[in-house]
Amino acid sequence: MVLETVKKIEDTSLPVMEAFYTIQGEGHWQGYAAYFIRLGGCDVGCHWCDVKESWDVNAHPHISVNELVNNVKEVAGNIVVITGGEPLMHNLDQLTSAIQLAGKRTHIETSGAHKYSGTWDWFCLSPKKFKPTLEENYSKAHELKMVIYHPSDIAWAEKEAQKVNPDCKLFLQPEWDRTKIVMPLITEYIKANPKWRVSLQTHKFMQIP
């Protein structure tokens, strides 16, 4: 049975745009060392997306779970973040099981627009208007990260917050190119509604991946 499980892991591969070791720049785990695996493929289509090159699932090489996990083992950090693209376009059961067997934490950043898969220590849900989040995924969220592009997005974020569990951490994050416009609104809203916290893309300020 063990040999069969190992074979399945070795036979599984995923389209990977890039993988790198850096500092988590956003959300609840901001500031921690983390190994990122960015999977190819996204059908959500955010017009302000800063990694549109990840959208085409066929544009990226397939890498085996075994190789991905071997790379994860080489870094000192304990957090592995699966992102995209939209990572839940792929079945992530084998990848997350192998990462956890290696003694690392599994984190995901997802719109939740696809079926849940994988075993997660931290599930960061970031709903998008362009493709609705599946209802089943709201209850899974440890963190709700709402990207604010337009002032009206704050009211939408509040509606989304009503769908997650009471222990979910709530974040409002300005879309990078609109920070000067929406940040004052976010600031005042959080002062009046302190259940929310600010998330900033600090990795861009630090000029790291």
Contact predicate 81/108, CB 8 Å? yes
Instruction: Give the pLDDT mean for 166-170.
Output: 98
Rounded average pLDDT over 171-191 = 97
Which one, of 68, 62, 56, 64, lies nearest residue 15 by Cα?
62
pLDDT of residue 41: 96
SS3 129: coil
Q: Over 70: is that where the pLDDT of 183 sits?
A: yes
pLDDT of residue 174 exceeding 90: yes
| Class for the domain spanning 2-206 | alpha beta
Residue 2 pLDDT > 60: no
For residues 102-118, average pLDDT = 98
CA distance 49 to 74: 30
Q: Which tokens is 140 given?
A: 């899974």
Query: Considering the entire predicted model, what is its pTM?
Result: 0.92
φ/ψ of residue 169, rounded to 5:
-80, 135
- Report the alpha-carbon distance of residue 144 to residue 169 in Å, rounded: 6
Q: Is residue 79 within 8 Å of 108, Cβ to Cβ?
A: no
Convert the pLDDT of each residue in 55-101 to its tens digit.
999 999 999 999 999 999 999 999 999 999 999 999 999 999 999 99
Maximal CA-CA distance, the chain: 57
Q: Using CA atoms in the order 201, 20, 93, 39, what is the torsion angle rounded to 10 degrees?
A: 70
Considering only CA atoms, which of 177, 112, 173 is closest in space to residue 140?
Answer: 112
The rounded Cα 135 to chain-centroid distance in angstroms is: 17
Nearest to 42 by CA among 99, 105, 135, 109: 109
